[in-house]
Amino acid sequence: MSEKIEIEGLAPGGEGMGRVAGRPVFIPFTAPGDVVLADLPGGEEARHARMVGLLRAGPDRVDAPCPHFGPGEGDDRLCGGCEWLHLRYDLQLRAKERGLVEALRRIGRLDPGSYPLRPIVPSPQPLRYRSRAKFHLDAESERLVFFRRRSHEPVRVRECHLLGPGLDGLREALGPALARVRLRPREVALEWSEHAGRGAALLRAVEAGEGARRRAADLLEAVPSLSGVVLEGEGDGRRGRPVVLVGDPVLRHERVPGDPSAGLARSRPDVFQQANRPANARLVREALDMLDPDGVDVLELFCGAGNFTGRLAARATLVSAVEGQGPALDLARADLGGKNVRFFAGDSLAIASALGREGRRFGAVLLDPPRDGMKGLGPLLRDLAAPRAVYVSCDPATLARDVRGAVAAGYRIAAIQPVDMFPQTHHVETVVLLEQA
């Protein structure tokens, strides 16, 4: 059934929202003020519909530069990589602020105005900002592709307006080269270093034996801009996935793009790093300025490959950095070992709790947990008697839950700073300063 629907606003998940008979309907690729013709599924609850025609464009709609974006026919449309390529960038920023405030209200039970919310920090580059991305190999076209929205159907991308030029060029070259050397990974993660002018690849779900090593070496010969490959085999559920390195997949990035004096950081395509390096430099700066680590001992949880650790070490007396054992910790140690940094391998909450029981005290705590957050944050900060902490989050829902726990444990929210790391999507990073009440 087709309905004429006016879009009232943007839902937290990024879709436009209108109403039919008073019930909400969510429609991707729409903008506030649009009037669209949409196909609605049956059912009485809130529905997700498909736009089949734009009857009137709203004031915030812009022309999307990518031929793969938005609804349409053919296997080169409905790409799942972008959500908001049709929205003015300033509207995207306002929508992210509103989504964060709503999560804090609904989950954190924090009323708007009860905490100081700073204006969102925009990305220096709304387009062509990604230095890493994940793809799938389409055997038929021998190309690296994205999937269509909410499906496993390939979008045979000719160019991607989120990828930096070097990364986009590596994507274009690697698909045919993988076919020539007879490597068929289930997933491909690529990373590009502007500093080195080269990239590295993670090939997932491949046989990691001697034959695959030889074919990976052939791949390096075929793609000169590829410095190394990580082969990740299938795991058995007990010992994890076997990993083989071919060439040199360790890349070096400027910690602050355009400022070599800030130093270099190691990375690998199988280790988490922020994809938007210019925005990441702003994120690190905001977090450290809020933490104010000068002249104190700092506990850093979930330090990863050292994204914050290097800049922390330049200001703090001592950094105790915690990360699970693995390649991320190896990279951090290679970059920062021997400085005023002590690394601890293991579970962040368990190690921090043990340090608290031993009577260790820190002038500040910084944590950057994965998307599922850190349950138990409030009691941990209370047991550590930490005067202040900075929490960096990529998910407003788990952030709101954990901040609520910190408030219940006797901390107050001194500042909240959203940062736009992923333009053209609804995702937002947030930095929160917590202080003892």
Active site residues: 394
Count CB-CB contacts under 10 A for residue 235.
Answer: 11
Q: Which helix (H) or strand (E) holds 239?
A: none
Q: Is 326 left (phi over 0), alpha (psi -120 to 50) or beta?
A: left
Q: For tokens 């680590």, what's the residue?
A: 293
Give, in degrees to the nearest 5, the angle at Cα 359 between 354 and 364: 85
Count of CA atoms in the C-beta half-sphere (13 A) of 209: 2
Q: How far is CA 154 from CA 70, 92, 136, 169, in A?
A: 15, 27, 8, 19
Question: If you write DSSP's letter for every residue of 393-437 in order, what string do you get?
Answer: ES-HHHHHHHHHHHHHTTEEEEEEEEE--STTSS--EEEEEEEE-
Alpha-helical (H) ranges within 143-209 are 165-181
**Are the beta carbons of 266 and 252 closer than 8 angstroms?**
yes
Phi, psi (deg, nearest 5) at residue 214? -65, -40
- Strand segments, DSSP code E, in 346-410 are 364-367, 388-393
Contacts of residue 260, defined as CB under 8 A and 6 or more positions apart, other chains included, come to 254
Phi, psi (deg, nearest 5) at residue 62? -125, 165
Distance (Å, rounded) from C-alpha 123 to C-alpha 110?
27
**Are the beta carbons of 48 and 36 closer than 8 angstroms?**
no
**Looking at this protein, which amino acid is placed at residue 286?**
E
